[in-house]
Each structure stands twice: as structure tokens, then as C-alpha cells.
Amino acid sequence: MSKAEILEQIAKLTQVERDEIRQKLDELEEDALTPEERALVDKRIAEHDCNPESAIKWDEFKARLDQKFGR
């Protein structure tokens, strides 16, 4: 199956099915992290678990990135 065919079929899936695919892709991407990167991610998740109110919403974070990098 070509990439174009896959993309065409994805649009026909339910939200639950697309979420399953997204989860599988995330699992594949996790393997791309070095041990040091994985340790950093784990550390930051633990810090967030200890202080969840320190987090900001994605929209605010994206706006800050856009402002900083001119998008």
C-alpha cells in the first residue's frame, strides 16, 4: 500500500481508530530516544507530577513559541 493510499484510508477511520494509530506511532518514536533523552523526559514528568500547577496550556505554550521564533 502506498503512502497516498494509507493517508486516504486514515481519513475514513473513526476517532478511536486514529487514536490507536497515533498511540502506536508514539510507541515507535519512543524507541528513537537515547537513554539520556529518555532520562530527561522521565525527570520532567516526575517534576510535573510533583507540581502539576506549574504547567501551562498548549495554546499558551504555542503562542510563546510563535512569539519567540516569529511564526
Residues 48, 68 within the same domain: yes
Domain hosting residue 25, numbered range: 1-32
Do 13 and 25 reside in the same domain of the chain?
yes
Question: Structurally, how many domains does the chain consist of?
Answer: 2
Residue 43 and residue 61 in one domain? yes
Does one domain contain both 39 and 69?
yes
Do 71 and 39 reside in the same domain of the chain? Answer: yes
DSSP character string of the chain: --HHHHHHHHTTS-HHHHHHHHHHHHHHHHTTS-HHHHHHHHHHHHHHHH-GGG---HHHHHHHHHHHHT-
50 in the same domain as 24: no
The answer to whether residues 42 and 67 belong to one domain is yes
Note down pLDDT in tens along the chain; length 71 residues: 899 999 999 999 999 999 999 988 888 876 677 889 889 999 999 999 999 998 999 999 999 999 999 86
